[in-house]
Amino acid sequence: MVFDFSGKVAVISGAASGMGLVFSKRFVESGGRIVMSDINKETLDKAVDEVNSIREGAAYGMVCDVRKYDEVKAIVDFAAKKFGRVDITIPFAGGAETRMLGVTEPDFEKIPIEVFDWSIDVNLRSQLYFDHAVFGIMKEQRSGVLIHIGSVTGAEGGPNVPGYSASKSGAMNGLTVSMAQLGAKHNIRCVCVSPGPVMTRASMANMKTLLGRAASPEEVVNAILYYASEDGSFYTGINVLIDGGRHIMWDRSI
């Protein structure tokens, strides 16, 4: 799929790997400029170098802990000062709390509450932080796209990851719809993209889908690019499931 993001500026988190890195490369290939953030400086620096090898000076990197509003605001403000605008924000950073924090305790009540705090902060609160940090900039320029990253787990639930499931479900949908309503009169759109299993790691291959496979990162990024582009300019306030039919299966036990 070919998109034209000439003159557009994006700010993303979780940019050092996975879909965040794939998006960064595709966005720059399509003419855009990007501020890439991640919590790990070493991997972020390597990722920024990769993206700048496509077009020198199109990408900048900033370390950011998305649980801290001041750090989120700092990367958004940097982009606005450096490039004069911010057209797209996408908080890719996130993940299932028990996997991300290496928790193997099987009993819900024995898992430290801080594990679930981490999940809500990273998966949900950071999305609100990005929306809040950039809204005034987009309002002043009379345009912008807020892309939220949900998950099929928000639709199907997950007994081992209740924090992740909660943060990617009704709360995420409510945030998306609310920002779409708030932004409409300022020409600001908001769309949530909710992937199913994506081959950003090998274990995803074991997750069942109606189509019998996991998605490639490129398949999900293609959809994100579409909704962020002028081609997707009539979409707002929606949650798009890209899950190969997983949420409509009778047996999703794996």
CATH number at residue 193: 3.40.50.720
Residue 56 pLDDT greater than 80, yes or no: yes
| pLDDT reported for residue 170 | 74
CB 221 within 8 A of CB 26: yes
Residue 1 lies in a domain: no
Q: What is the pLDDT of residue 63?
A: 98
Whole-number pLDDT of residue 254:
63
pLDDT the model gives residue 2: 84
Domain span at 180? 9-248
Q: Is the pLDDT of residue 253 over 80?
A: no
Number of domains in the chain: 1
For CA atoms 131, 135, 138, 139, give the dihedral sign: positive
Q: Is residue 76 part of a domain?
A: yes
Q: Per the domain annotation, does 40 fall within a domain?
A: yes
**According to the model, what pLDDT value does residue 111 have?**
92
Q: 3-state class of 200 per DSSP?
A: coil
- Name the percent of the chain lying above pLDDT 90: 77
pLDDT of residue 114: 94
pLDDT at 169 over 80: no
Q: How confident is the model at residue 247 (pLDDT cuts 50, 70, 90)?
A: confident
Q: Is residue 252 over pLDDT 70? A: no
pLDDT number for residue 32: 98
Q: How confident is the model at residue 224 (pLDDT cuts 50, 70, 90)?
A: very high
pLDDT at position 112, please?
A: 94
Domain annotation covers residue 254: no
**Strand locations in 31-177, DSSP E?**
33-38, 59-63, 88-91, 144-149
Contact of 254 with 55, CB cutoff 8 Å? no
The DSSP secondary-structure symbol of 215 reads B
Per-residue model confidence (pLDDT) at position 16: 96
Question: Would 232 be classed as within a structural domain?
Answer: yes
Give yes or no for residue 148 having a pLDDT over 90. yes
What is the tens place of the pLDDT at every residue in 109-122? 999 999 999 999 99
pLDDT in tens, 31-55: 999 999 999 999 999 999 999 999 9
Binning pLDDT at 50, 70 and 90, where does residue 4 land?
Answer: very high
DSSP secondary structure of 8-28: -EEEEESTTSHHHHHHHHHHH
For 172-194, the pLDDT digits (tens) are 889 999 999 999 999 999 999 99
Q: What is the pLDDT of residues 78-106, one digit of tens each?
A: 999 999 999 999 999 998 888 899 998 88
Does residue 126 fall inside a structural domain? yes
- Sequence-separated contacts (24+) of 232-238 with Cβ below 8 Å: 232/191, 233/189, 235/189, 235/191, 236/180, 236/183, 236/184, 236/189, 236/190, 236/191, 237/176, 237/177, 237/180, 237/181, 237/190, 237/191, 238/176, 238/191, 238/192
**Mean pLDDT computed over every residue of the chain:** 93
pLDDT confidence of residue 165: 81
Structural domain contains residue 253:
no
In a domain, 2, yes or no: no
